[in-house]
Amino acid sequence: LAIRGGSELSTRLQAVIGGSDREQIYWVERSMLGDRASLHGAPLHVGDVLRDRLFGPLRSVVLTSATITTDGTFDFVAERLGLEDPTEKQVASPFDYQRSTLLYLVDDLPEPGQPGYQRRMQDVLIDLCSATRGRALVLFTSHAALQATAKAIKRPLESAGVLVLAQRLDGSPRQLIERLRSTPNTVVLGTATFWEGVDVVGPALSTLVITKLPFAVPSDPIFAARSELFDEPFHQYAVPQAVLRFKQGFGRLIRSSHDHGVCAVLDRRILTKRYGASFVQSLPECSVTVGSAADLPIDADNWLERGASAFEWHASSPYQTREPRRRRR
């Protein structure tokens, strides 16, 4: 929130202190050194702002994206944007995800936050990225987890000939993506902006790892304030928002009809929690395998080398899955 002039500053501060402006969310952020503080604000109902300043004056508006549906409908996004009875159309993807994409759901890691998860997740990344010779983007939901992982996996992977680059530690997001495109056998660790907007076509990005389902931090001021608008904030707000983010992350993998890759999810809540099915069902119909962390490197390597022919359909799973035809080594 940009504040100009003493009178406007006074008005804003009075609204914050007095709590008179209930349509705005206000919070204060302190710098890392603790020597500066800044006042921020955001609308509680973004739909009201968009309707008054964008949609209202126009005869028509087209909103298009590959990642704005949850549970097969536009309802969540339409409500958040304040859209009233919009004309809707869903168009199928031009990509053949069943042949191009293996979604591997790891079923034997501790849940995030449980003892042993961070160490096991790091071990999986070392084994997986060694087997696939890098060519990977690993998505995190926190910088702390990213930096701890970078420290743990950098030396083992680089001794195997795989370059590890981490957000904030090795360059800007743009620099890291350029190095992923141009440098063979590279792994990029990213959070925040890396969940969207990354466009790497071809084998340089053949493996995508989602370390944790991307739920918002409960203490985030905007998330906390808007959660209060719902009777069941977790199911009505937190889950749909995380599903949209998950779809955005998944979309980093296949960027053309010639792309081919593996998306590994290391958060077993996608299998054990009731809401987990919403994440899987939000994705295009790709090939799905539920398996152990130990089998992931072998199955990922087989998929990247041989594609769908390395797997056979298996109908007894809750998802339409492929079972690997593993080669002896």
Beta 163-166 vs 321-324: how paired, if at all? Answer: unpaired
- Kindly indicate the confidence band of residue 26, based on its pLDDT and cuts at 50, 70 and 90: confident
Residue 189 structure tokens:
């660790």
**Residue found under tokens 């799905």:** 288
- Kindly indicate the confidence band of residue 191, based on its pLDDT and cuts at 50, 70 and 90: very high
- Cα–Cα distance for residue pair 256/251, rounded to 1 Å: 11
Judged against a pLDDT cut of 90, whether residue 56 lies above it is answered with: no
Which residues, including other chains, have CB under 8 Å from residue 267's CB and lie 6 or more apart?
109, 111, 112, 210, 211, 212, 213
Judged against a pLDDT cut of 90, whether residue 234 lies above it is answered with: yes
- Kindly indicate the confidence band of residue 20, based on its pLDDT and cuts at 50, 70 and 90: low
User: 104: which strand partners?
Assistant: 264, 289
User: 264: which strand partners?
Assistant: 104, 209
Domains of the chain plus CATH, in order, are: 6-80 (no CATH), 97-324 (3.40.50.300)
- Cα–Cα distance for residue pair 70/212, rounded to 1 Å: 19
- Kindly indicate the confidence band of residue 16, based on its pLDDT and cuts at 50, 70 and 90: low
- Cα–Cα distance for residue pair 79/47, rounded to 1 Å: 8
Judged against a pLDDT cut of 70, whether residue 80 lies above it is answered with: yes
Residue 316: the pLDDT is: 46
**pTM for the full model?**
0.87
- Kindly indicate the confidence band of residue 221, based on its pLDDT and cuts at 50, 70 and 90: very high
Which residues, including other chains, have CB under 8 Å from residue 155's CB and lie 6 or more apart?
none
Residue 322: the pLDDT is: 54
CB-count burial class (<10 Å; 0-12, 13-18, 19+) for 120: middle
- Cα–Cα distance for residue pair 2/11, rounded to 1 Å: 13
Mean pLDDT value of segment 265-290: 95
Judged against a pLDDT cut of 70, whether residue 300 lies above it is answered with: yes
Residue 329: the pLDDT is: 38
Judged against a pLDDT cut of 90, whether residue 142 lies above it is answered with: yes
Residue 328: the pLDDT is: 38
Residue closest to 117 by CA, chosen among 82, 142, 86:
142
- Cα–Cα distance for residue pair 27/18, rounded to 1 Å: 14
End-to-end CA distance of the chain: 59
Mean pLDDT value of segment 101-123: 97
Judged against a pLDDT cut of 90, whether residue 31 lies above it is answered with: no
Residue 308: the pLDDT is: 67
Angle CA(311)–CA(317)–CA(126) in degrees, nearest 5?
Answer: 55
DSSP state, residue 54: I
Residue 181: the pLDDT is: 95
Amino acid letter, residue 253: L
Tens of pLDDT, residues 315-324: 445 554 555 5
Residue 2: the pLDDT is: 47
> What's the mean per-residue pLDDT of the chain?
89
Which residues, including other chains, have CB under 8 Å from residue 60's CB and lie 6 or more apart?
none
Residue 72: the pLDDT is: 86
